[in-house]
Amino acid sequence: MRVVCVIPARGGSKGVPGKNLAEVGGLPLVARAVRAARRSRTVEEVVVSTDDPGIASAAGDAGARIVMRPAELSGDTATSESALLHALGLLSGRPEATVFLQCTSPFIDPADLDAAVLEVLDGKSDVVFSALESHEFQWTRGGDGLAGVGHSASFRPRRQDRAPHYRETGAFYVMRTEGLLEHGHRFFGRIGARAVPAVHAVEIDTAEDLAVARALAPLADRPDPLDVDVLVTDFDGVHTDDRARVHQDGTESVSVSREDGMGVALLRRAGVPVLILSTETNPVVAARARKLGVPVLHGLSDKASALAGWLREAGHDPRRTAYIGNDVNDLGCLALVGWPIAVPHAHPDVLAAARLVLSRPGGGGAVREACELILQSKTLPNEGK
């Protein structure tokens, strides 16, 4: 192999307990890191070095090879390089380049990673790291107070006239393996930087950083084809705009989208089962399900238990199930499936739990959008190497 990616992910984080298993965009951070590496065109094997069984399980499910590191390499004082060198020592061969990728950077574009790898493989640099290019006015503290870096009180060059600074994002480092083994640390020889967008430069060290990353996920994550076998949806707020019209006789009516109806029809024609779940007992829910030709479970007090039972009885894998929700009573279902999905105006807790936030609103094409993403996956080759 020419390129191996090693992801150190220990379980003893103190700043954010359980950080590497914290979810952003509906996926644990370690799974996001594995996914980014596996989507790279240049990385041939992904190895996760950990001391934690939960992290090992999540990383293995995402497609990584697991290396359980010894206790002496798992404490607060252990360096990332020690985990890299330990993992490399267990490989059957020596790769030409080693990628060190960190779970704490949730937004890694595989194209940026590939560009950095190729710069090392082509011999242009010995090390390339992800960086945020900055033209900000920076200051350093000296004996006489603050002094400008590249500028002064009397000399304030324009942005275009200032050389940029580069801040490590911490997302990835690509190193010539021979140099890493020789020097024992990540920086040596000719060092290059791969500039990444500011939205990809988020690094999670605190609970506040985690909240920011979760808020950014709908903007930073690119929609993926939904490679699932089953679609389950809430009704109010998903098939409707979450409003009801109450008539003089006390009956209610809602508005639905014909686009959504066509999407469900196309999905059923492709052999993908669809289920509607609802806490409502209103006959309109059952009527819409009959119109769509799909089963419905409504009048539910515990939607998650009902969904788990239905999946079990039908023989469907929850990990290959998508669920679209909009409010807090959907959180149990979202946690149960492999693809938790939210409509754009969902409750903040639902948005935080979602792996995908749709662009179209409930009652206005959200279901159709999800159906089309599922149909796209049926025409694409399976991911992975």
Q: Where do the DSSP E strands lie in 113-216?
A: 127-134, 138-142, 145-149, 165-176, 191-195
Domains of the chain, CATH where assigned: 3-220 (3.90.550.10), 230-377 (3.40.50.1000)
Could you give the CA distance from residue 34 to residue 39 in angstroms, rounded to a whole number?
A: 9
CA dihedral 173, 134, 23, 338 (to 10 degrees): -80
Q: Are 40 and 114 in contact (CB under 8 A)?
A: yes
Q: What is the mean pLDDT of residues 169-195?
A: 96
Q: What is the pLDDT of residue 379?
A: 66
Could you give the CA distance from residue 367 to residue 257 in angstroms, rounded to a whole number?
A: 9
Going by the DSSP 8-state scheme, the letter that residue 221 receives in this structure is: S
- Nearest C-alpha neighbor of 99 from the set 118, 73, 72: 118
Q: Where do the DSSP E strands lie in the chain?
A: 3-8, 23-24, 27-28, 45-50, 65-68, 97-101, 127-134, 138-142, 145-149, 165-176, 191-195, 230-233, 245-246, 252-253, 274-277, 296-297, 321-325, 339-342, 356-357
pLDDT band at 385 (very low <50, low <70, confident <90, very high): very low
Long-range contact set of residues 342-345: C-beta below 8 Å, sequence gap at least 24: 343/237, 343/238, 344/218
- Nearest C-alpha neighbor of 177 from the set 122, 100, 95, 120: 95
> In this predicted model, which residue has the larger pLDDT, 351 or 331?
331
Q: Sign of the CA dihedral 172, 34, 325, 17?
A: negative
Q: What are the pLDDT digits (tens) for 89-117?
A: 999 889 999 999 999 999 999 999 999 99
Residue 51: left if φ>0, alpha if ψ -120 to 50, beta else—which one?
alpha
Angle at 122 between CA 116 and CA 125, to 5 degrees: 60
Percent of the chain with pLDDT over 90: 69
Radius of gyration of the chain (CA): 25
What are the Cα distances from residue 353, in Å, to 142, 173, 321? Answer: 46, 29, 15
- Is a pLDDT exceeding 50 seen at residue 383? no
Q: Are 110 and 36 in contact (CB under 8 A)?
A: yes
Burial of 273-292, coded b for 16+ CB within 10 Å and e otherwise, reads bbbbbbbbebebbbebbeeb
- Joined together, the tokens standing for residue 314 give 């039908």
What lies within 8 Å, CB to CB, of 208 at 6+ separation is: none
- Is a pLDDT exceeding 60 seen at residue 22? yes
Could you give the CA distance from residue 69 to residue 239 in angstroms, rounded to a whole number?
A: 48
Q: What are the pLDDT digits (tens) for 123-135?
A: 999 999 999 998 8
Q: What is the pLDDT of residue 78?
A: 84
Q: What is the pLDDT of residue 124?
A: 96
- Is a pLDDT exceeding 70 seen at residue 384? no
Going by the DSSP 8-state scheme, the letter that residue 156 receives in this structure is: -
- Is a pLDDT exceeding 70 seen at residue 381? no
Q: What are the pLDDT digits (tens) for 356-378?
A: 889 899 999 999 999 999 998 88
| Average pLDDT, rounded, for the chain | 91
Q: Sign of the CA dihedral 205, 208, 209, 214?
A: positive
3-state secondary structure of 35: helix
Backbone angles phi, psi at 310, to 5 degrees: -65, -45
- Joined together, the tokens standing for residue 273 give 């089962």
